[in-house]
Structure 1
Amino acid sequence: MLMIKTACTLLAASLFSFTATSCLAQNASSMPLDQQSRQSYEKRAAELVSRMTLEEKVSQMKNHAAAIPRLGIPEYDWWSEALHGVARAGYATVFPQAIGMAATWDTGLVHQEADIISTEARAKFAQAQAAGNHSIFHGLDFWSPNINIFRDPRWGRGQETYGEDPYLTGRLGIAFITGLQGNDPSMFKTIATAKHYAVHSGPESTRHKVNIDPSPHDLEDTYLPAFRAAITEGKSDSIMCAYNSVNGQPACANTMLLVDTLRRDWGFKGYVVSDCDAVDDMYSAVGHHFSPDAAHASALAVKAGTDLDCGTAYSGLIDAVHQKLISEADIDRAVTRLFAARYALGLFDKPGATAYSRIAPAQNDTEADSAVSLKAAQESIVLLRNQNHTLPLSHSIKTLAVIGPNAEDSRVLEGNYNGVPSHPVTPLAGIQKTFSAMGTKVLYEQGSPRVSELPLVVPSSAFVGGLKAEYFKTGDLTGASSAQQDSHIDFDWNQAAPLSVGDAHDFSVRWRGQFQPVAAGTQTFRVQLQQCFPCAGTTSYKIFFDGKQVAALSSPDNDLRKQKFSFTVPFANTNPVRFRMEYSHTGGTLGAGVTLKWQPSVEALRARAVDIAKQADAVIAVVGLSPDLEGEEMPVHIPGFSGGDRTDINLPAVQRQLLEAVASTGKPLIVVLTSGSAVAVDWTATHAEALLEAWYPGENGGTAIADVLSGKVNPAGRLPVTVYQSVDQLPAFEDYSMKGRTYRYFTQKPLYSFGYGLSYSTFTYQNLHLSTVSLPAGQGLHVDFDVENTSSVPGDEVAQLYLTPPSSPTNPLRKLVGFKRISIGAHQTQHVSFDVSPRSLSMVNEKGNRAVLPGSYTLFAGGAQPADASMGATQMFEITGTQMLPR
């Protein structure tokens, strides 16, 4: 047997290919795949690890695991992203940002999205393996979903979450995790990673050093339930520990979180990965100052159960073993978990041996996948105001004016942690296509910047007649070209080439047209190049006005962050001038992409918007935020925004001024918000005829918005967050106490409530029935009722079930215990039922103990919270006795 192993290992080493590693699986186990349990994977992994040196073991505990040729082990990068589509790996189906997924309140749809994401991941993996590509973002384990609680709207990364409610977050997290990991009990389709564990939700500026001391009540009641659901019900095979410390211990070395809770209480058997540089933060100058050096920090993290490090700290593990800070057995345990995961993904099986490994590259970014993305965008849109039934817009409207800084910006489709959409539809493009087909004339002006301090995309209205574009499969504008018409220059091609040049390794583009200034005088422009990590290749561009070169650059991509790309051009008047831009990217498509931005006169932009509003029968204003303003640890420091977070939650002043100016024309104003967080649109809430929240809606966002505006789609999205009137209603951002936060503990009147959303239909709730009105503690409660569509318009309704417990200092005002998105035909009735578990009926005391407690409770069924529902049903019941529940 030893001779067979040796021969197979030598073969693998000589071939050093993915295929050759299948002999590891043949040696370790002859058990048929469908009979292999986790235990068998662990045994196979342990046997493989036993043949490694200490140095080889440590090399496997970093996000880019090194190859071990003598054992036939190829390199593997654990860092891949799939928050709302396979990210940073080229073209992929881009679904609505996670907060938009949450607004659908549709677990089945979220599961379907994740299943598509995992299929596209397998398709990309197959293509990468065939090309010998083992690089970052091309693996099969994904650092998603983000199930942190969005406790404060100022957090820039809240867009990545499923909102503020632990129950909603837990249900959607389970749906996403099971969709990613697949339904084969013998292996994973991909592996999901629930993050960031735990008590993590901003501010971004202090995340590397802050210590958070949540009360035992808030920890158990708010911050841990979604993670518990992800592990105990979703069976997530991976979890990511956070940057921050909790109760004095960094999260990635926190024994309470990783040992006592995760592995002992929840029975977690998978692997833990650190957030990137989180272990480094334990000893770095800007971090926690918890450990003196990498050796001590890495030893503490591994002993606590952090198996994989995204960073450099685990380079200190060898020294840690020599110093006897950690045993080699602790190293073995971590590496065994990692290889068990790789075995469970089928990475050491013969290619094509399983159904998952037979998923072909052609199954990426399909029309069917795009259709699901459109459905998700349609379902995510929340109708917040519809005065006098302004929407859907009448077919009698002859002219529409579309204005706003977000109408024609692809970034507001994508959000962050995104893939590259092959056919993105901006709000303007969607409205133009839908309403032009109805015989409506559509006018467009940008109207304002998002914030007066930053540039934004030069819009199509600045290029008279559009831009003639020539695309070349060379990096120097030579050879045959493909011609097309582009409306403006705003392209994300990261890890992909333009569709018109196919799979060209190098490419270049020349745009020509007529540029029309909005005012005479000096105009500032900026070229924004795609931010890449890691970077490769070289980017070059030249820009000409009236034949004169005004800007140029040629630089390796890894130097681009050091460059300044702003330039100015004087214009004598507003007459059109000749424009030409040449762009090339060589050395591979990683980091390809370019956007031409400007900072024109705010007053001139606004005047042009008012002018087209006067010509129109109605105005659609697409305003809000963008991933350029809110996100992860960003270099943005302007009024209202700081480092990716927000310092206030109002719509930026320059956009509000635009809305007020346009409204003064007397034309009906419909406002479409794009954002990843709640925006306090107090003026809009009382002055606009209609208001939609569209989030960052994915590749088909523009089509979905137009579908709702035109009435093709009846909106039914619901808010997954509370929209506060202002930050004055909130505690300090740094305060992690839940008192006064979220609908469960907020006692003031918000602008819009969690769970709120309007429809073009009307619904009533009746015949609410409980299985008992006297429930012994520890038993579940069956609830059913009828929902009737009392209108002539078929539509979706989100039936929500809220529990109001007895009043106490620690009990929430109310809490969500059930929800279902249902479709009901005109004048039809649907029966709905819920089984409410003892855990949903339980409360948490000040010591963090969870129990079902005696007392009088109220259940409310409706399309929103009790105070916001136009029609609902209420029933009281008693719980008798007490039943303690496990953590």
Structure 2
Amino acid sequence: MITAEAKAHDQAMSHDLVSRMTLAEKMAQLIYQAPEIGRLGVPAYNWWNECLHGVARSGTATVFPQAIGMAASFNTTLMERVASAISDEVRAKYNGYRTFGRTGIYQGLTCWSPNINIVRDPRWGRAQETYGEDPILTASMAVAFVRGLQGNDPRYRKVDATLKHYAVHSGPEAERHGFDARVSARDLFETYLAAFRICIEEAEPAAVMGAYNRVNGEACCASPTLLQQILRDRFGFDGYVVSDCGAICDINRFHHVTADEAESAALAVQSGCDLNCGSAYASLKAAVLRGLIGEEAITRSAERLFASRYALGELTESPYDTIDDTVIDCPAHRELALQMARESIVLLKNDGTLPLSGNLRALAVIGPNSDDRSVLLGNYHGLPSRYTTIYEGICDTVPPGVRLFKARGSELLRPVTHDYAEQPLHEAILAAQKSDVVILCTGLRPDVEGEQGDAFNSDLGGDRRDIELPEAQLALFEALAAVGKPIVVVNTSGSAVSFAALEQRAAAILQVWYPGQSGGTAVADVLFGHVSPSGKLPVTFYRSIADLPAFHDYAMAGRTYRYMTREPLYPFGFGLTYGRICLDSASPSALNVSEGEPAQIQVIVSNRENRPVTETVQVYLSHDVCPLPAPSLQLVAFSKVTVSPGTSETVRLTIRPDRFRVYQDDGNDVFVPGRATLLAGCSLPIARSTELGAPPWLCIPVRLEG
């Protein structure tokens, strides 16, 4: 992170530069396609770039697993390394593009990532872009990502990270431009804003992006409550705010908060939205002439933006100017993408079929996603120089002498009905009959779940109507199950799907998300036992939408592991390995925690298997008695550890002071003396986890002392 002295220097430089601009020049700089100011030596700059899981929309780049998959790794150290690699590629591309005299869209240093919205409902199409349903996991992964992107130079930022979408944003996609998310103050601060607060405190992101929707009646990109009272006054944010693209126009067109774009632009700038992705700020001149806004507010926003350009060295020079294109999709980054893909894979069920036996003679790889490249990439992606689909990864890894059969088996969504269409089912049945094991590649694709406008095969603007596997794939599973061979399900999706129809009959289930350019290799490494799976679910896998409140309802009651009352199909934090991990002991045996003080515990983890195993120790807090409503369980710390065969490791974890606080109705958090319990395990500490094969958890009684 850059130092306070560096920030002060950049602010002084910005103040001086902006003071020499005319009002018209200042207003023009508040639009994302900022023009050149030749007389002041200011080059044109396009602020829009993307790097959600690799440099996006700018040609060749390393494509890491989609964000939800990286969250499943529960590995913040690896996440920071991934983000550092991404920012190297951002810089390399920028350094090349700037030789043309200017940079265009998707060529700059200001990246509109990460997406830290909370997945309150798996039907939301953009859940794939996030780090899941838990505020602490989301914040932890986001802090690592932001630190990796922005670099560790005390004077210059390598890349600007942008937290989005602020705030309370998770569908419905088709209504996002005019939707009003109504939330209580408790839910707002306890769930929807928690990751923003923590990330701002611990990583100092350069920017925040305002969302399309309203929150409790105020448009997010023009909300004095969200942008000034909360973001700056309460959270201490000192960077700049950018609107989502077209969101300022939405204020008058769809939210009907203002009468026209001049009013919308004036309200947004006065509320603290400094940069407009869109065209609405072209109406600032009219707003000034009508007396809706003064020059002071425009100057303030311009100074924030130029302070960032100075911090990046974009107007001067920086130590990152020598990064060149040799880093783009280089061998080291490809290996990093493979490592993250391996750690993102979650083993949900295994009856002993995995890892695949050395006695295997024939293997069938079946399913509409088995050899599909789009399921590697997710959305907001670049173009890797090398792809490995699931089928290709298996081809590259299958032992010599094993015969491999391939069949599509079905269409992605619905069975084919017209007479002249190809009938792929019979080929799949024949392949299964000739094989010892069937690898069935099920799931979704980015064209059926995603952002409005991108997921063109979704009939809900990118969202899903339910969480079931598509009809055609369920029919394919039924036909293959009738053959009687063990079926290993390999599922690609950006959030939870229901495996209720097949989980009893599948021999094993792997959830692999959208695993990036090396996803096929990673899947094969797990299937054949070259690595033990170590991913954990960052979202709850529900049995059906009957377990969920209405999609439009933003109240957290009944949602996610923290508030749901029904038993999940697969719990948050769950994921099996190929080893026998035991949590032998936790210390201290009891804790006294005073207000404002952290707590330290240690857990001894042993591996009673003859292979190395990587496991994630998770610590949850449960208040025994609390006068305020609190989550039934709350993740408060986690740590990933690799344990050698027949050995033990001591895992040390720190629980931050704010993790012991609870929220009041007014959204303020307080420390409540009383009794609580810390539960350490390898999954959510509920009976369903044990039933599925997670090791028993350990309990530490806690006295909270005021």
TM-score range, shorter chain: over 0.9
In the other structure, the counterpart of 1:564 is none
Contact 1:785–1:833 (8 Å) recurs in 2:
yes
Letter paired with 1:430: G
1:133-152 → structure 2 map (5 Å cutoff): 133-152=102-121
Q: Give the Å deviation of 1:641.
A: 4.8
Correspondence 1:83-482 to 2 at 5 A: 83-284=52-253, 287-350=254-317, 354-387=318-351, 389-435=352-398, 437-452=399-414
Question: Which residues in structure 2 correspond to 1:632-651 (within 5 Å)?
Answer: 632-634=451-453, 641-651=459-469
1:117-158: per-residue Cα shift (whole Å, max 9, x none)?
000011101111123351100000100000000110000000
Is the 1:766–1:872 contact (alpha carbons within 8 Å) kept by the matching residues of 2?
no
* 3-state SS, counterpart of residue 785 of structure 1: strand
What is the Cα deviation at residue 683 of structure 1?
2.2
Q: 1:306 aligns to what SS in structure 2?
A: coil
Asked if the contact 2:68–2:132 (Cα under 8 Å) also holds between the matched residues in 1, the reply is yes
Take 1:311 and 1:777, find their aligned partners in 2: how far apart are those partners?
46
Q: Show CA shifts across 1:26-67 (max 9, x none).
A: xxxxxxx99961111111111111111222111111111111
Q: Please name the residue that 1:857 is paired with.
A: 676
Counterpart residue number, 2:624: 806
Contact 1:641–1:648, Cα closer than 8 Å, also in 2? no
**Secondary structure of 1:831's match?**
strand
Kindly report which structure 2 residues correspond to 1:73-88, keeping only aligned pairs within 5 A, or say none: 73-88=42-57
CA RMSD of aligned residues (A): 1.7
Check whether the contact 1:764–1:872 (CA below 8 A) recurs between aligned residues: no
Task: Determine helix, strand or coil for the equivalent of 1:37.
Answer: helix
**Per the alignment, do residues 378 and 746 of structure 1 end up closer, same or farther by CA in structure 2, a change over 3 Å counting?**
same
CA contact (8 A) 1:35 1:186 kept: no
Specify the SS of the correspondent of 1:357: coil
Task: Determine the structure 2 residue equivalent to 1:718.
Answer: 536
Counterparts of 1:665 and 1:416, CA distance in 2? 36
Distance in 2 between the 1:633 and 1:773 partners? 49
Q: Does 1:609 align with 2:571?
A: no
Q: Does 1:678 align with 2:489?
A: no
Say whether residues 1:829 and 2:648 are aligned partners.
Answer: yes
How big is the shift at 1:790?
Answer: 1.5
1:577-656 mapped onto 2 (5 Å cutoff) = 600-601=421-422, 604-634=423-453, 641-656=459-474
C-alpha distance in structure 2 between counterparts of 1:835 and 1:773, whole Å: 13
Residue of structure 2 equivalent to 1:7: none
Seen in structure 2, the aligned counterparts of structure 1 residues 740 and 454 have a Cα distance that, compared at 3 Å, is farther
2:594 is aligned to 776
Alpha-carbon distance, 1:846 to partner: 2.0
**What is the identity, as a one-letter code, of the residue corresponding to 1:837?**
R
Deviation at residue 860 of structure 1 after TM alignment: 0.8
Q: State the Cα deviation string for residues 382-405 of structure 1 (Å, max 9, x = none).
A: 000001x11000121111111100
Residues of 1 paired with 2:427 and 2:625: CA distance?
56
Instruction: Provide, for residues 397-438 of structure 1, a one-character-per-residue CA deviation record: whole Å limited to 9, x for no partner.
Output: 111111100011110000000111110100010011110x43
Structure 1, unaligned stretches of length 5 or more? 1-32, 456-518, 523-599, 882-887
Superposition pairs for residues 841-880 of structure 1, below 5 Å?
841-867=660-686, 868=689, 869-880=694-705
Instruction: After TM superposition, give the deviation of residue 681 of structure 1 in Å.
Output: 1.1
Asked if structure 2 preserves the Cα contact closer than 8 Å seen for 1:676 and 1:695, the reply is yes
Residue number in structure 2 paired with 1:731: 549
4+ residue segments displaced more than 4 Å: 33-36, 635-638
- SS of the aligned residue for 1:687 comes to coil
**Alpha-carbon contact 1:771-1:782 (below 8 Å) kept:** no
The one of 42, 46, 71 aligned to 2:40: 71
- Match of 1:857, SS state, is strand
Going from structure 1 to structure 2, the CA distance change for 1:144 and 1:453 (only over 3 Å counts) comes to farther
Q: Call closer, same or farther: CA 1:454–1:147 in 2, change over 3 Å.
A: farther
1:366 partner letter:
C
Give the superposition deviation at 1:660: 1.1
Please say if residues 766 and 786 of structure 1, whose CA atoms lie closer than 8 Å, have aligned partners that are also in contact: yes
Task: Give the secondary-structure state (helix, strand or coil) at the position aligned to 1:685.
Answer: coil
Structure 1 residues 285-331: Cα deviation after superposition (integer angstroms, max 9, x where no partner): xx100111111111110011100000111011111111121111110
Identify the residue that residue 885 of structure 1 maps to in structure 2.
Answer: none
Cα distance in 1 for residues equivalent to 2:415 and 2:209: 36
SS of 1:782's equivalent?
strand
Partners of 2:599 and 2:201 lie apart in 1 by 21
Q: Are 1:771 and 1:781, in contact at CA under 8 Å, matched by a contact in 2?
A: no
Deviation at residue 365 of structure 1 after TM alignment? 1.1
Aligned partners of 2:619 and 2:636 also within 8 Å:
yes
What letter is aligned with 2:551?
Answer: F
CA distance in 1, matches of 2:13, 2:453: 43
Aligned equivalents of 1:641 and 1:620: distance in 2?
29
Give distance in 2, aligned partners of 1:304 and 1:385: 50
Distance 1:291 1:270 in 2: 26
Counterpart Cα distance in 2 of 1:862 and 1:38: 42
Instruction: Quote the Cα distance in structure 2 between the aligned partners of 1:66 and 1:174.
Output: 32
- What amino acid does structure 2 have at the position aligned with 1:850? D
- Name which of structure 1's ranges 835-844 and 35-44 shifts more when overlaid on structure 2: 35-44
Q: Write the distance in 2 (CA, Å) between the matches of 1:850 and 1:841.
A: 10
Alignment of 1:815 with 2:611, yes or no, is no
Task: Provide structure 2 residue ranges, at least 5 long, that are not aligned to the other structure.
Answer: none
Alpha-carbon distance, 1:880 to partner: 2.1
What secondary structure, in the 3-state scheme, does the structure 2 residue paired with 1:191 have? coil
Q: Distance in 1 between matches of 2:593 and 2:167?
A: 34
Q: Which segment drifts farther, 227-236 or 735-744?
A: 227-236
Instruction: Report the Cα offset of residue 762 of structure 1.
Output: 1.2
Amino acid at match of 2:393: G
Secondary structure of the corresponding residue to residue 646 of structure 1: coil
What is the alpha-carbon distance in structure 2 between the residues aligned to residue 136 and residue 614 of structure 1?
52
SS class of match (1:664): helix
**Offset, 1:265:** 1.3
Give, as a single letter, the amino acid of the residue that structure 2 aligns with 1:393.
L
Residue identity in the other structure for 1:306: C
2:590 and 2:701 in contact (8 A); partners too? no
User: How far, CA to CA, are the matches of 1:50 and 1:421 in structure 2?
Assistant: 44
Using the TM superposition, give the Cα deviation of residue 837 of structure 1 relative to its aligned residue in structure 2, in angstroms.
1.6
For the 8 Å contact 2:589–2:701, the answer to whether it is kept is: no
Question: Normalising to structure 2: TM-score of the pair?
Answer: 0.97
For residues 245 and 648 of structure 1, the distance between their equivalents in structure 2, rounded to whole angstroms, comes to 25
Alpha carbons 2:94, 2:103 under 8 Å: kept: no
CA shift, 1:780, in A, is 1.8
> 1:770, 1:781 within 8 Å by CA — same for their partners in 2?
no
Residue 514 of structure 1: aligned partner = none
CA contact (8 A) 1:763 1:871 kept: no
In structure 1, the residue matched to 2:521 is 703
Higher normalized strand content (fraction of residues): 1
CA displacement at 1:451 relative to structure 2: 0.7
After superposition, the C-alpha distances for 1:668-693 in whole angstroms (9 at most, x for unaligned) are 11110001010101122111101000
Q: Residues 843, 34 of structure 1: CA spacing in aligned structure 2 closer, same or farther, 3 A cutoff?
A: closer
Looking at structure 2, the residues matched to 95 and 879 of structure 1 have their Cα atoms a distance apart, in angstroms, of: 42
For 2:603 and 2:641, how far apart are their aligned partners in 1?
13
Alpha-carbon distance in 2 for matches of 1:792, 1:427:
28
Taking the aligned partners of 2:359 and 2:327, their CA distance within structure 1 comes to 42
8 Å CA contact retained: 2:124, 2:172: yes
Letter in 1 for 2:321: S
Give, in whole Å, the separation in 2 of the partners of 1:343 and 1:763. 50
Between the two proteins, the alignment pairs up a number of residues equal to: 698
TM-score by length of 1: 0.77
Deviation at 1:871, TM superposition (A): 2.2
Distance 1:271 1:632 in 2: 24
